[in-house]
Amino acid sequence: MRTILHFIDGVPVDGGAGRQPVFDPNLGRPQAEVVLGDPATVAAAVASARAAQPAWAALNPQRRARVMFEFKRLIEAEIDELARLLASEHGKVVSDAKGDIQRGLDVVEFVCGAPHLLKGEHTVGAGPGIDVYSMRQPLGVCAGITPFNFPAMIPLWMLAPAIAVGNAFVLKPSERDPSVPVRLAELLLEAGAPKGVLNVVQGDKTVVDALVDHPDVKAVSFVGSSDIAQYVYARGAAAGKRMQCMGGAKNHGVVMPDADLDQAVNDILGAAYGSAGERCMALPVVVPVGERTATALRDRLVDAISGLRVGVSTDPEAHYGPVVSAAHKARVESYIQMGVDEGAELVVDGRGFRLQGHEEGYFLGPTLFDRVTPQMRSYQEEIFGPVLQIVRAESLQEAVGLASRHAYGNGVAIFTCDGDAAREFATDVEVGMVGVNVPIPVPVSYHSFGGWKRSGFGDLNQYGMDGIRFYTRTKTVTQRWPTSQRPAADQSFVIPTMA
């Protein structure tokens, strides 16, 4: 059986706190095992990063950018193989796995502009003979803790900007699908990054705590559940570290009476059931405005759901594959039963789905609920599976209130042909990322990704200019050079001004 190791100081490393199976969700059986690290493993990875970082930071930005360009090229050359490997451990279909990698590559491409992104500000003549300028400098050693649902995209969102601006990085990927992150580290080394600039430590909570607690780790980026995000944020912030922690979501899609229903249903279907709903930017709640809209939307959703194909990850005709694990499948099924017990109307039940020849795989059919209310726990909590809930609203204001009052505030969408309604919605809704006729409003790489409320902890978002700001600190220099023409200044005990 294949063994997935750590990657420290440019080489695979064994050892730590034991091993754990890595399952194939399509078959429901182990396909590999991953080593689990311990504090000593973390210490070795951080020591390697700390040793490599000064020389890497001393390179001029364009030389680091050349490494990132080559890193991008190598990933693109291997994207088919990487997508198959990713799909085999996660369960998402190969076409979706390619999208996972591509959205990460977009950020790698963005940070190839590091020479421009790192430019500071400069004021000549801020005072008599005084110039002021600023510079962005790397923090040192940074760490990333990433979830199972995007084993390529989210690591690349973190490590690419951190490394491009001159930091060294320690990555702790999910132990459920750990192979692709290791391969990315190997490709960065091949691209020309010195050993130690990127290290990968496999593990569980023990490794997370050791990374967050390590005094040489200056910043931590985390993506996962909200409870863990809050825990990691509080622990790191208490130690004086720069923290960026993204949590869960319960994204709403508001459908107005004037919406193009055919397009809306098509968009909602992909956003709700794509990747088996295992996305923090999935659309698990749809809010039709008005009873006529709700009835028409429900009917079309039922028809469209009947045409969905659930299949193995390598099936090119499948719309989505299995969920990641047996435990997660059982969790999603428990939420479906919870919705039934709470009185929601179960319109389509995805439980009991079996794929011929893959009966032990972790497959769930698409599920649809109607007449869900905000008081229901199944609405309040993140299900993270192929489950779509209809919550009816009588007005746009009521729909805005539903999304705004929810504990999560990651993403939201409105489907409408009315520009005034869209503008009002985008302005008023208390959610971090808004889509107008866009079901999954993940910003492009030169903007920034981040939610509000329990979806995000910390002041700076991921990638874009916020990513550059997070992984650097600003130093401002005020300078004056003595000249023979300027008389020596008298001593002054008054705070200097430029008046």
The tokens of 263 are what? Answer: 């397009």
Catalytic residues: 280
Give me the phi and psi of 177, to 5 degrees please.
-140, 75
The burial class, CB within 10 Å (0-12 / 13-18 / 19+), for 229 is: buried
**What are the φ and ψ backbone dihedral angles of 345, each rounded to 5 degrees?**
-90, 115
The secondary structure of the chain in percent helix, strand, coil, rounded to multiples of 5, reads: 40, 20, 40
| Residue 459 CB partners (closer than 8 Å, separation 6+) | none
Going by C-alpha positions, the residue among 272, 247, 228, 224 that lies closest to residue 409 is 247
Looking at 214-325, list the stretches that DSSP marks H as alpha helix, in order from N- to C-terminal side.
226-238, 261-273, 291-305
Check residue 261 and report its DSSP letter: H
Strand locations in 240-378 (E)? 242-246, 252-255, 285-288, 345-348, 367-370
Identity at 360, one-letter amino acid code: E
Q: DSSP string spanning 166-213?
A: T-EEEEE--TTS-HHHHHHHHHHHHHTPPTTSEEE---SHHHHHHHHH
Torsion of CA 181, 185, 187, 193, to 10 degrees: 150
> Tokens 């590999």 identify what position?
32
CA distances from 249 to 208, 373, 429, 475 (A): 22, 17, 15, 36
Of 420, 409, 438, 371, whose CA–CA distance to 250 is shortest?
A: 409
Q: What distance in Å separates the CA atoms of residue 61 and residue 118, rounded to the nearest whole number?
A: 8
